[in-house]
Structure 1
């Protein structure tokens, strides 16, 4: 074990996925979310970062009512839900090969889909959105699904770094008082210049893990 950070345990093989050209695993994404929850997002902000393992459960369980007790309480009270999406298969462990990001924004009653490989995960994202609609109780008024223009990754391994970089940028906008007057379109729009370089995302997470040991 390299680091035990609250609800996340990082082993050496998890840490190694932060090296350049390595596919980041779900433990690294969960660690990033845990750190944001505890150090960046204020208690007053109604932002929920759903962990990859929870999303996996939501997507693959046959009846979502069975997992209601495992879900965070009062999901409808949050202004924004960040939902990492993978293309993993049920009953195959964590078998995914690509990460993308789905964000539900309450004020616009819409899901925003960010995929650094275009439409690579769109089927999984739409399925995830349908599952979340059932959990949120919006079956009679389903939210829109909006496919956002997203900066493209340069290789097959950087999808997780893009999810982290986009999450960081959107969270900062949502908690910043200077962003309170932004339209929804501007709030959710992401340009490549808005986010950190993936190399820096990897480097900074490696440094953070070492500092927390």
Structure 2
């Protein structure tokens, strides 16, 4: 029997041989690879951006498949510090029936945005799961939330879904951070394309092909992020095949439901599903526009095109090189003496 050796242990995120192999062409990404890359982004790329959180796959699975409100309430209490109000953008990997998609929660707009590289494969699952995530992320919120299915670059095979999740999440995280750090310069920017107009120049959101150098002093305490899943068991031992019944919905004061979303359609959104409070299409578009304006975000902020993200085969190759580079660096790190 072949031993599935640990190739890299990076900030509690383990990469085994089988995980590394999933980065090969036509490989289906494992949850551990997603956790590893989440951890890398949080600890080295977005270390100074506490407003962005990459939720680990195991934690996301526990919440999305929670059977009762008591489960989500317990998780919310356990992780209250990590999931507190300072986290404005939460990136959530969803897996349903062996397909990865990305759920993004923005506190500024009180909206879940869903990105699915196979049309609407995970749409219903994502809508219902959003109600569970709301109970964890916003335990005191009584007025419900909004859900928007965003037009997403589509894969042309049956194995790149996980890569699209990583690429889109990284693009949105960089875009979000760059937008708010460069907002003052955005006001004076000319009409030089969609990204320049939005305040995130093309060069500021391009994917870095280099790897950051780690040192013994750069380690961050494990409690800082959830990408490494707080030393939870390996994700591969859990099944994605089932989905439990949604919680009982309770109307909020605004007419929205606490566990069933209002769907924002138009402007990059999609069709039916969920409640809409009886609003007309024009009302929904105006509501969305008003929310984005109050949040200080441009109208097309959440739109991600093929040109915005890294090609899947390039990203696979880059992450493989990253694993090998970090593995090599860790071999030569000085040992701390106590």
How does the TM-score come out when normalised to structure 2?
A: 0.58
Check conservation: 1:86, 1:124, Cα contact below 8 A: no
Whether contact under 8 Å (2:114, 2:126) holds in the other structure is yes
Equivalent residue pairs, number: 205
Q: Which residue matches 1:205?
A: 319
Instruction: Show the 5 A alignment for 1:159-174.
Output: 159-174=161-176
Q: Is 1:148 aligned to residue 133 of structure 2?
A: no
Matched residue of 2:92: which SS? strand
Q: CA deviation at 1:45?
A: 3.7
Residue 120 (1) aligns with residue 128 (2): no
The farther-off stretch of 181-190 and 147-156 is 181-190
> Which of structures 1 and 2 has the bigger CA Rg?
2
Cα distance in 1 between the residues matched to 2:105 and 2:66: 20
Does the 8 Å CA contact 1:85/1:125 hold for their aligned counterparts? Answer: yes
Quote the residue 2:109 is aligned against: 108
2:300 is paired with a residue whose SS is helix
- Correspondences of 1:1-213 after superposition (within 5 Å): 1-62=6-67, 63-71=71-79, 73=81, 74-87=83-96, 96-135=97-136, 136-137=138-139, 140-176=142-178, 177-178=181-182, 181=186, 182=198, 183-213=297-327
Q: CA deviation at 1:67?
A: 2.3
Q: Which structure shows the higher helix fraction?
A: 1
1:59: how far off? Answer: 1.8
d(CA) in 2 for partners of 1:49 and 1:197? 21
Question: For the residues of structure 1 that align with 2:74 and 2:146, how far apart are their CA atoms?
Answer: 26
Tell me how far 1:179 sits from its aligned partner: 5.7
Deviations 1:123-148 (A, max 9, x none): 22112211011121265211210000
Q: Normalization by structure 1: what TM-score?
A: 0.90
Matched position secondary structure for 1:43: coil
Query: In the TM superposition, what whole-angstrom CA distance separates every residue of 1:101-137 from its partner, at most 9, and x where no partner exists?
Result: 0111111111110000011011221122110111212
Quote the residue 1:90 is aligned against: none
What's the offset of the Cα at 1:30? 0.4
